[in-house]
Amino acid sequence: MAEYGLTLVGAAVWSTALALLRPQPFDLAWAHALLMLAPLVLVPLGLRTIAAHAALGEPEWLWRIVVIVQLPAALVLGAGFLLPQGFLAATLSGPYLMTTGLLAVLGLVRLWHHRRDLLRELCVDAGLVYIAIGGL
């Protein structure tokens, strides 16, 4: 259970924000809430799964950095979603954009190591690279 601690924290934050905001069914806040589900819950869950199966030769220190900074960056991103559109909200999305950029670098490193490997590994690597597009 402790191995999914960051995912549980993210889920608790997401659920609490949803309970406090209580958006109406057709409110734009629902779109924001669904967008924040990924950085707060789904990405930490996927990172935990992928990092547990990291291959030899992959930069373990980079995995540690990404796993450590991902949740705080997602929380800052969530704060940016609570603000009106503007410079401050865009600035608060910067840490998560950098985190997804690090994930893309990890995906490229994994892609290099798995270039002749199974298709499922190549799909994971492509997903790590693609997450930077979602962060942008």
What pLDDT, on a 0 to 100 scale, did the predictor assign at position 54? 64
Cβ atoms of 132 and 100 within 8 Å: the answer is: yes
Q: Transcribe 20-74 into DSSP letters.
A: HH---TTSHHHHHHHHHHIIIIIHHHHHHHHHHTPPTTS-HHHHHHHHHHHHHHH
Residue 12 has pLDDT above 70, yes or no: yes
Give dist(CA 36, CA 23) in Å, integer: 14
Residue 111, CA distances (Å) to 8, 18, 67, 132 in order: 29, 37, 19, 15
Of 100 and 61, more confident? 100
Q: Where are the domains of the chain?
A: 2-135
Residue 47 has pLDDT above 60, yes or no: yes
